Amino acid sequence: MAFLIRTIDFTATGREIVRDRELAQDSLTIGRAAENDIHLPDLAVEQQHARIDPATGGQLTAEAVGTLGFTVDGRTTTSATFKPQEGVELGFASYRLAVTQDGDGPVTIVITQKEDKPATDAAKGFELASALPSKRAMAWAGLIAVLLAFLAVPIYTNLTRERVEPDYKKPGQTIMDASWSTGDLSVKHHGLEDNCEACHVDAFVSVRDETCLTCHEKIDDHAKIDRQLTSRGPMSRGDQFLWAVAETFGKEGPGNCTTCHTEHEGAGRMEPTPQKFCAECHDGMDTRLKDTQLANAADFGTAHPQLSAVFYGELGSKKTTRLSLDKPIVEQNGLKFPHELHLRKTGGVARMAGNIGSKRDYGPALECKDCHEPTADRYGFKPVEMEEACEACHSLVYDKVGDTFRTLRHGDVDQMRADLAAMDRAPRRPITTGRQRPGDYAQGQRFYQDFGRPSRNYIGINQALSPKGVCGECHIPTTRGGRADVVPVYLNQSFLKHSWFDHKSHGDAAFEKIEGGQRQGEETCISCHAADVSKTSEDLLMPKIAECRDCHLGEKARQAPVPSSCAMCHSYHPKPGGVPERRKDARDKQVAMITRKTG
């Protein structure tokens, strides 16, 4: 099929200009985009507006492609089928397309643009322009109204307001200040939406650190101010120029609160600290701070030291050790617990878990969640308690009185000794009827128990505390003060000293029951912690940085599933009372790093 596209334009003097072009194709596209077969430069026309395709019987079909329709002989529609021999007019905004065909000749489409005819004097009498001021006068009036409402009134009320100390509880005194806001405050600062003066004390002056400390007075410095100034790398000339400009408007130097904490970014969490802010000091810091013990770090994916763990390295000692996971680590927590044995899918442990599953819902085999219960917020785990997690299999029952079982109290060796020593001192039912033993062997006397001497109770105590006894199944026996005992148990609840790990963000598969084996396609505990192959409790089941980098490869790594900045795992401010020590003299002189090195 052939089309003849004829465009008719008019010059300023009214002279007609006709342009023809032929297209040998079956379909035509119509729209405002230049690549269309019929280009209609009108904002009321969509980029891809309509399409003309052949139909049966020599007909053509016009179909709207976008959301707007068109007119066919004055009637609005989104689809129409017509015969070009009979002629039809298609309307797209201000353009008219007259479609005709003579015999077997090409389909002719004449494109014209509708002209806006000036209104007559009679029609002007019905227009609003006859009753309103001129456009110029209205424009000036609108400009003055905007200046008064959004500039003069806020400035006047700010200059004449009562000068008070910053207080987020008091209502704002600057009228129309919401019109100056660049965006919503974060959720944490949402209560300050109507009180700009709580942070912006002086007009056209950046928020000062002392203002932030009105509420956050317990926030300590990241490190001693002089060390921060020394560790910060040299700034480029461009950064020096930008800071010089910022300081003319009252902005404090690098390291102040607003360098890290930016507001008016939307009603959500406050934007985390950019990685660049941390790398300015920690990238190559050992060349500026010669006495630092911290390794250089600039990007988690490419420039970050191996993770270090805090653990108990000496058996029976509360002293902790912190070592890099690159070094061989033997954890001495005082327990004998093979994870691999308890997580086997077959064997005695799995069989026992299946037998008692109806009561404790263990299932066919034990899983990590059967012993490690997450906290309410799922950021950490509760301490493992023997009575809740272990006693279902490792029973501490040692006697039965009637229908009642007597159970040893876990965690108190002295109490265990007392319970076992007193086990057979209560009267028992005679073994034979009608006969009594005389003297010390009679019922209730000192030698009545099992017709033997009471030393058997003390033998039972030593057996319980032996390596093969009920206590020795999990604990390491020892001798203290000439008496059998067990090594104290010290279990670490957090192995990361200067960072944290959010289990909650790594999926609920680590907390939920997984029926029929491991959940496919989701992370479980053993995805990071190799508990299923650990045969001794001396293994420190902490993943190395290489495993973390399967998902986390820095702040801007596009190939990583999770972009990871420093703030994802580290906090800038130390905990109250922690290291480093707060310098009151530096805080009095400069709230943060108000001054900086130059040159």
Q: What is the pLDDT along the chain (599 residues), one digit of tens a residue?
A: 899 999 988 877 778 888 999 999 999 999 999 999 999 999 999 999 999 999 988 899 999 998 899 999 989 999 999 999 999 999 999 999 999 998 888 999 999 988 766 656 666 666 666 677 888 899 999 999 999 988 888 888 888 887 767 666 777 778 887 778 888 888 888 888 778 888 888 877 888 888 888 888 878 778 887 888 888 878 888 888 988 888 887 788 777 888 788 888 888 888 778 888 888 889 989 899 988 888 999 999 889 999 999 999 999 899 999 999 999 899 999 999 899 999 888 888 888 877 775 445 666 788 888 888 888 777 778 888 888 888 888 888 888 888 888 888 888 888 888 888 776 554 545 444 555 656 665 655 655 544 444 445 556 677 888 888 888 889 999 988 888 889 999 988 888 888 878 777 776 544 443 333 333 345 678 888 999 999 999 999 999 999 888 888 888 876 667 888 888 888 888 665 333 333 333 333 333 333 333 33
- Among 258, 290, 295, CA closest to 277: 258
CB 371 within 8 A of CB 365: no
- Each residue of 468-505: b (16+ CB within 10 Å) or e? ebbbbebbbbeeeeeebbbbbebeeeebeeeeebebee
Amino acid at site 565: S
Rounded CA gap, 203 and 271, in Å? 24
Q: What is the CA radius of gyration of the chain?
A: 42
DSSP state of 335: B
Q: Of 504, 515, 508, 507, whose CA–CA distance to 362 is shortest? A: 515
For residue 164, the cross-strand partners are none
User: In the 8-state DSSP scheme, what is residue 475?
Assistant: B
Written as one letter, the residue type at 34 is A
pLDDT recorded at residue 76: 93
In DSSP terms, 50 is beta-bridged to 30, 64
Q: What is the pTM of this model?
A: 0.58
Interior angle at CA 561, CA 558 and CA 562, nearest 5: 90
- List pLDDT tens digits, range 583-596: 333 333 333 333 33
Cβ 18 vs Cβ 7: under 8 Å: yes
| Separation between Cα atoms, residue 336 and residue 469, nearest integer Å | 13
- Nearest by Cα to 305 from 287, 285, 291: 285
Q: How far apart are CA 185 and CA 265, in angstroms?
A: 7
Q: Does the CA dihedral 36-38-43-49 come out positive or negative?
A: negative
Q: Residue 381's beta-bridge partner residues?
A: 374
**pLDDT for position 535:** 92
Upper half-sphere CA count for residue 107 (Cβ side, 13 Å) = 27
Distance, in Å, from the CA atom of 482 to the CA atom of 462, rounded to the nearest integer, reads 12
Cis amide leading into 580 (omega within 30): yes
Map out the domains of the chain with their CATH numbers: 2-113 (2.60.200.20), 159-273+593-599 (no CATH), 395-473 (no CATH)
